[in-house]
């Protein structure tokens, strides 16, 4: 069922973006994610989000885990609103889950919200106990083009390949 086309002002009025008071969820909450209509559907363009201060909790010890999260996607009809993404990622702060599960959950929640043509989520977790964990999750729609992209990137994945040095950000 096609969504009703609404004006940009109507679309933006209920977003968290621009609110004078920001409420931070103390529990994991996928309902914090918001989407807006892609003004260029049918065009193929990458969008990348880099969260340099992701935190979650180890489900066994309750100790904090720190990571950089890289979200690379190609939108279809909807795109992710960035402030809602920030609030959503912050909601993991008191969430106890393994690194791999956090990354897969982020990927799945975004897919459920915007149904992108392609998405990959990479976590670069700070080593604990001498072990660094870099989980990777991806999704592609059913078209052969994006299934091939997913397969190629998955088969060629290596830590650091689809992320970037932070010195390039600052």
Domain span at residue 107 reads: 43-158
**What is the total count of domains within the chain?**
1
Instruction: Label residue 169 by pLDDT band (50, 70, 90).
Output: low
Q: Tell me, yes or no, whether 2 lies in a domain.
A: no
Choose the catalytic residue: 27, 51, 58, 101. Answer: 58
Residue 102 known to be catalytic: no
Q: Tell me, yes or no, whether 163 lies in a domain.
A: no
pLDDT digits (tens, 9 = 90+) for 49-108: 999 999 999 999 999 999 999 999 999 999 999 999 999 999 999 999 999 999 999 999
Q: Tell me, yes or no, whether 14 lies in a domain.
A: no
Residue 66, domain CATH: 3.30.1130.10
Q: Tell me, yes or no, whether 15 lies in a domain.
A: no
What distance in Å separates the CA atoms of residue 98 and residue 85, rounded to the nearest whole number? 20
Q: Tell me, yes or no, whether 100 lies in a domain.
A: yes
Residue 141 known to be catalytic: no
Q: Tell me, yes or no, whether 166 lies in a domain.
A: no
Query: Which tops the pLDDT comparison, 71 or 167?
Result: 71
pLDDT digits (tens, 9 = 90+) for 119-135: 999 999 999 889 999 99
Q: Tell me, yes or no, whether 24 lies in a domain.
A: no
Choose the catalytic residue: 65, 102, 107, 109. Answer: 65
Among 105, 117, 14, 133, which residue's Cα sits nearest to residue 72? 117
Q: Tell me, yes or no, whether 53 lies in a domain.
A: yes
Kindly give, in sequence order, each residue whose CB lies less than 8 Å from that of residue 154, ignoring residues fewer than 6 positions away: 136, 138
């Amino acid at each position: 069922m096609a969504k009703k086309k609404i004006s940009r002002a109507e679309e933006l009025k209920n977003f968290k973006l621009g609110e004078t008071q920001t409420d931070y969820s103390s529990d994991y909450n996928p309902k914090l994610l918001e989407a807006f209509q892609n003004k260029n559907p049918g065009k193929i363009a990458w969008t990348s989000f880099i969260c340099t201060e992701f935190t979650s909790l180890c489900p066994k010890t309750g100790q904090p885990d720190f990571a950089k999260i890289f979200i690379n996607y190609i939108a279809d009809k909807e795109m992710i609103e960035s402030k809602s993404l920030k609030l959503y990622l912050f909601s993991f702060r008191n969430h106890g889950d393994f690194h791999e599960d956090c990354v897969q959950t982020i990927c799945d929640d975004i897919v459920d919200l915007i149904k992108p043509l392609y998405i990959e989520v990479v976590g670069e977790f700070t080593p604990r106990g001498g072990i660094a964990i870099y989980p990777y999750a991806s999704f592609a729609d059913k078209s052969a083009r994006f299934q091939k992209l997913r397969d190629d990137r998955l088969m060629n994945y290596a830590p650091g390949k689809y992320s970037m040095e932070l010195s390039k950000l600052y």
